[in-house]
Structure 1
Amino acid sequence: MTRANAVRPLRERNFAWYFGSRFVNTLGNMMANIALTFAVLDITDSAAALGQVLAAHTIPMVLLLLWGGVISDRFPRELVIRVSNVASAITQGMIAFLVLTGSAELWMLIALSVVHGAVSAISFPAMASLLPQLVPRDQLQPANALMSLTRNGLTVLGPTLGALLVVTVGAGWALAIDAATRLVSALLLIPVKVPRAAKDTEHKSTIAELREGWSFFISTTWLWAVVLGFGFLNMIHNGALFVLGPVVAEDTIGRRGWGYVLSAEALGLLAMAVVLLRVPLKRPLFWGMLAIALASVPMVVLGVDPHLVALVCAAFVAGAGIEVFSMGWNLAMQENIDDRMLSRAYSYDALGSFVAMPIGQLARGPLGAAFGNSRVPVVSGIAYAAICLLVLTSRSVRDLPRRSTPDPVPETAG
């Protein structure tokens, strides 16, 4: 793939504005993630409390994801994203205000996280399924790679900058910046005008549309096999790395060191995105599932040797693997699923992938206290790698090829 072809998607007007919108939003969001983590720890000094705040975001997101998929297939996806960005700006702004004024309490952060999770449930299927409407099919891989470069390039700086803000002026300012960027992101989406695809003339109820999406989901083996695997993988990853990780970091490499670890993962993501910008990815799910198994490495290192250099190297390797899977999964979805079903397919994907995350978030604190903060990450890492290999026993996952056009969605009874 030549350099000109690699940046060709930016010549598409809609994609260029969408690219700018996500650029601004990601800059604030990546700082906010680490800022919220340490804001909760400052207030509570409790891994269990951090798990509660994270779960408060995840649970409503999981419960409302299917509804979000229906909304995103019914209405213009760019409009859904704009409205969601404004709502997210309000909730993040309120959290920032509470933290900055010193009036934040755990129940307040939990309540606002519930609202923010509900908004995320609406926006996620729309963001995941909008890209194929912005570029021609033959530009999907470079378009996905450019989005990854933006996201990953900013996450190299975002966590470190967020950690620096936390240790200098406090977590509230990073959260305030995130709120502002969400408003700017909504404004940048205003010029995006996507022609609406032809819809069925028959009006269907929400239940009928959900049932149609479910029929497609369970009839597509590679789809449900990967989603089932990620139900367990995300539970393990979020609990072992995002709940226990900061707790272990507090006693070993420090808060700034944990920011370096997160930035190293982003560097791995960035480096692999550069590679995938020019190298076509064939058999996307085969290579994707092999690569994502590398995400188990930081968990094992966290339990065995929680030193900065070892964790930074492990996080870089994991980031590269995550990026390969992310590209492979997006291509599999975007090239094999018709547009009128894509948001619902992504919502069922997200529901299955995220449904067990609150279990991991809530359980890792008590598990770490009961069995030790070193033993739990090691066992988690081993289980993570084993599940990745188990998913690859499905031939439909191993052999799924690249396609230039998606297969038509089969008709189902309403």
Structure 2
Amino acid sequence: MSTPEENPARSSTGASQTAPPKAAEDGPARLPRSYLLWLAGILASLAGNAVFYFALGWAASDHGGAIAGLVLSAITLPRVLLLLVGGAVSDRINARSVLIAGDAVMLVFSLLLAAAAYHLGAPPALLIAAGAVVGVADAFYLPASGSMPRRLVAKEQLPRALSLRQVGGQVINMGGGPLGGVLVGLAGLAGAALVNAVTFAAVLVVLILLRPRHEVPPTSSKTNLIKEASDGVRVAFSHPVLRPGLLLTGAAAGFLLPVLPLLLPLLARNEHWGAGAAGLVIGAQGLGMVAVTLVVVRRGPMGRPGLLSATGLVVAGVGVLGLGLAPGVAGATAAGLVIGVGNGVFSVHIMPLVLAVTPESHLSRIQAVLVLVQSLALLLMNNVLGNLAGLSSPMVVVLVCAVVVAGVGLMGLASGPLRTNRTGLES
């Protein structure tokens, strides 16, 4: 896992012989085994979560829409309320320790839930309590987990490392629903909880064996946790690169992410395209994202991360505009591909940039702010855009999203610190 050394010219029997340089054809340095081991554990955990969330939602839907909404709120509310505190705890103690504690707690909880569901079924009270436990655990787990790539790989490897994680996550998301459906049909909520317990056990073993290569000493601050959490917000929005980076991330979460899952079905119904056509557009978007992500996994970052992040949003905005104006299914599918390419370029550059420029003392807290910005933007705009589509038309709302996404991307290009930053490009 050590990087190749560049040897100076050496002299042998009086003749000067220059060792051949380690050229670009050798390709980027391999990702550390420690990161690949951690990634395997995380992907296993994501698979377990995908199955469990499907089972939880399915069981809640049996009690009607109101209970299903309460279960989802039970997950989201504590997560949002405690995220900043969770980031502060991780920076104060140690991210790996927080992850080990979180996995141990969720392992025990999953086993208890499996036993309770086996004997009691899935009453609303049990589902709501389960959602609340998951939400609280996520508030502490997500900031710590988000900071781990920075602790396991060098800054210049972050784009490839996070792109590989993104590809794995997309594969898990595609298979999680069908797998969850099969498992719930065979074993119900109890079976899904047991599968989740197995994945938590696997990740727990990985974390115990893991030794981060770039570990950051925990902060020794004795100030109030709330003050430490608020300091994370202060650093995030006062940093010349983090501030515009968070603005781009919030805009993408609020105006780009809802386009396909929320607005596309409404648009397809309004244009009489049918469900199959909507599926083609979503598939084209996924193809575009995966293609870009695989390029970065293989070759590394494409250039200045801030510049490419903003450019990616502009491209995605053009794709959303094309979707809103598409005369038919073929045009909408092409627009979906453009959206995927733009979103892919944005995602594989903005996340490594945010992680790389974050001060070492605030790694988990900035991740908490990042997740909070995304969560709040998505929660708010899903409701706003859905209501606007009902009041006007889906096409109008899609066009509004296109203008906002492209406009924020142009604002990012106008930000000198973001546009010119070269963090992570050092050889």
TM band (smaller chain): 0.7 to 0.9
Residue equivalent to 1:16: 36
Say yes or no: does 1:227 pair with 2:246: yes
Structure 2 contact 255–405 (Cα < 8 Å) conserved:
yes
Task: Count how many residue pairs are aligned between Structure 1 and Structure 2.
Answer: 398
Residue equivalent to 1:63: 81
Structure 2 contact 163–296 (Cα < 8 Å) conserved:
yes
Say yes or no: does 1:334 pair with 2:355: yes
Residue equivalent to 1:150: 168
1 CA distance for matches of 2:111 and 2:346? 30
TM superposition shift of 1:124 = 1.6
Residue equivalent to 1:216: 235
2 CA distance for matches of 1:299 and 1:375? 11
> How do 1:2-401 residues align onto structure 2 when only pairs under 5 Å count?
5-6=27-28, 8-9=30-31, 12-29=32-49, 44=64, 57-85=75-103, 90=109, 112-158=130-176, 161=178, 165=182, 180-194=198-212, 197-199=216-218, 201=220, 203-245=222-264, 253-254=274-275, 262=282, 264-277=284-297, 278-296=299-317, 313-401=334-422
Structure 1 contact 144–327 (Cα < 8 Å) conserved:
yes
1 CA distance for matches of 2:142 and 2:135? 10
1:274-312 CA deviation, whole Å, 9 max, x = no partner? 211214332101111221344446755766669776655
Query: Structure 2 vs 1, CA of residues 91 and 114 (structure 1 numbering), >3 Å: closer, same or farther?
Result: farther
1 CA distance for matches of 2:338 and 2:105? 35
Identity among equivalent pairs (%): 25
Structure 2 contact 96–207 (Cα < 8 Å) conserved:
yes
1 CA distance for matches of 2:88 and 2:288? 34
- Aligned partner letter, 1:227: L
1:87-140 CA deviation, whole Å, 9 max, x = no partner? 5564799699979x98566x8766644443332221121111111221234433
- Aligned partner letter, 1:192: L
Residue equivalent to 1:412: none
Query: Structure 2 vs 1, CA of residues 73 and 112 (structure 1 numbering), >3 Å: closer, same or farther?
Result: same
Q: CA RMSD in A?
A: 4.5
Query: Structure 2 vs 1, CA of residues 138 and 66 (structure 1 numbering), >3 Å: closer, same or farther?
Result: same
**Greater radius of gyration (CA):** 2
Query: Which protein, 1 or 2, shows the higher relative CO under an 8 Å CA cutoff with sep ≥ 6?
Result: 1
Query: Structure 2 vs 1, CA of residues 121 and 244 (structure 1 numbering), >3 Å: closer, same or farther?
Result: farther
Structure 2 contact 103–201 (Cα < 8 Å) conserved:
yes
1 CA distance for matches of 2:238 and 2:202? 41
Structure 2 contact 312–409 (Cα < 8 Å) conserved:
no
1 CA distance for matches of 2:319 and 2:52? 22
Aligned to 1:8, what secondary structure does the other structure show?
A: coil
1:302-342 CA deviation, whole Å, 9 max, x = no partner? 66669776655544433333332223223323332332221
Query: Structure 2 vs 1, CA of residues 325 and 66 (structure 1 numbering), >3 Å: closer, same or farther?
Result: same
TM superposition shift of 1:181 = 3.5
Query: Structure 2 vs 1, CA of residues 35 and 376 (structure 1 numbering), >3 Å: closer, same or farther?
Result: farther
**Segment drifting more, 24-33 vs 219-228:** 24-33
Residue equivalent to 1:409: none
TM superposition shift of 1:6 = 4.6
Structure 2 contact 151–216 (Cα < 8 Å) conserved:
no
2 CA distance for matches of 1:289 and 1:172? 42
2 CA distance for matches of 1:339 and 1:299? 37
Structure 1 contact 78–126 (Cα < 8 Å) conserved:
yes
2 CA distance for matches of 1:215 and 1:128? 19
Q: For structure 1, which runs of at least 5 residues remain unmatched after alignment? A: 406-414
Aligned to 1:207, what secondary structure does the other structure show?
A: helix
Query: Structure 2 vs 1, CA of residues 187 and 166 (structure 1 numbering), >3 Å: closer, same or farther?
Result: closer
1 CA distance for matches of 2:52 and 2:319? 22
**Segment drifting more, 185-194 vs 67-76:** 185-194
Q: TM-score, normalised by structure 2?
A: 0.73
2 CA distance for matches of 1:247 and 1:38? 23
